[in-house]
A and B are shown apart, each in its own frame.
Chain A
Amino acid sequence: MKLKTWGLKKSIWVFHVSSGACNNCDIEVLDCLTPKFDIERFGMVLVGSVRHADVLLCCGAITRQSAPRIKRLYEQAAKPCFVVAIGGCACSGGIFKGSYSIAGPYDKIIPVHAYIPGCPPKPEAIIAGVVKLLSTLK
Chain B
Amino acid sequence: MKTVIPIGPYHPLQEEPELFYLTLDGETVVDVDVRLGYNHRGIEKIAESKTWDQITFLIERICGICSTSHPIAYCNAVEDCAGIEIPERAKYIRSIIGELERIHSHLLWLGLAGHFLGYNTLFMWAWKWREPVLDLFEQTTGNRNHYAMIKIGGARRDIKNEDIPAIRKCVDSLVAPLEMITKAAIDDPVLHARLKGVGVLKKEDAIKYCVVGPTARASGVAIDVRKDEPHAAYDMVEWNVITQESGDVFAKAVVRLLEMFESIKIIQQCLDGLEKTKGAEFCVEVENIPPGDGIGRYEAPRGETYHYVRSDGTNCPVRHKIRAPTYVNLPSFKASCIGQTISDVAITLASIDPCYCCTERTAIIDSKNGKKEHLGEKELIRLSQEKTQKIRKKLGNQEGQSPFFLEK
List residues of chain A with CB under 8 Å of any chain B CB: 15-28, 30-31, 34-36, 48-50, 59-61, 63, 65-66, 69, 72-73, 76, 94-96, 98-102, 119-120, 122
Name B's A-contacting residues (CB within 8 A): 6-15, 17, 37-43, 45-46, 49, 57-58, 61-65, 67, 108, 111, 123-124, 127-128, 131, 144-146, 355, 357-358, 360, 376, 378
B70 CB to closest chain A CB, in angstroms? 10
What is the bound-complex CA distance between A105 and B48, given in angstroms?
22
Given A20-B38, A36-B128, A63-B39, are A69 and B64 also a contact pair (CB < 8 Å)?
A: no
Residues of chain B lying within 8 A (CB to CB) of residue A66: 9, 17, 38-39
Decide: B40 and A48 in contact? CB cutoff 8 A: no
Nearest Cβ on chain A to B129's Cβ, whole angstroms:
10
16 residue pairs of the A-B complex, CB under 8 angstroms, read: A16-B10, A18-B12, A20-B38, A23-B64, A23-B65, A23-B355, A26-B13, A27-B64, A31-B127, A34-B127, A48-B10, A48-B376, A69-B360, A76-B8, A96-B42, A99-B45
Return A72 CB to nearest CB of chain B, in Å.
8
Query: Are A17 and B8 CB-contacts (below 8 A) given A36-B131, A66-B17, A95-B57?
Result: yes
Interchain CB contact (< 8 A) of A100 among B6, B14, B42, B360: B42
Could you say which residues of chain B place their CB within 8 Å of the CB of A101? 40-42
A23–B11 CA distance with the chains assembled, in angstroms? 11
Given A24-B145, A34-B124, A48-B378, A99 contacting B10 (CB threshold 8 A): no
- Contacting pair A20 B124 (CB below 8 A): no
Q: Determine the distance from Cα of A19 to Cα of B57 in the docked complex, in whole angstroms.
A: 20
Q: CB distance B12 to A59 under 8 Å?
A: yes
Residues of chain A within 8 A of B41, CB atoms compared? 20, 61, 63, 96, 99, 101-102
A31 to B127, CA, bound (A): 8
A15 and B10 contact, CB distance less than 8 A: yes
Contact B7 A49 (CB under 8 A): yes
Max chain B Cβ within 10 angstroms of own Cβ: one of A21, A35, A72: A21
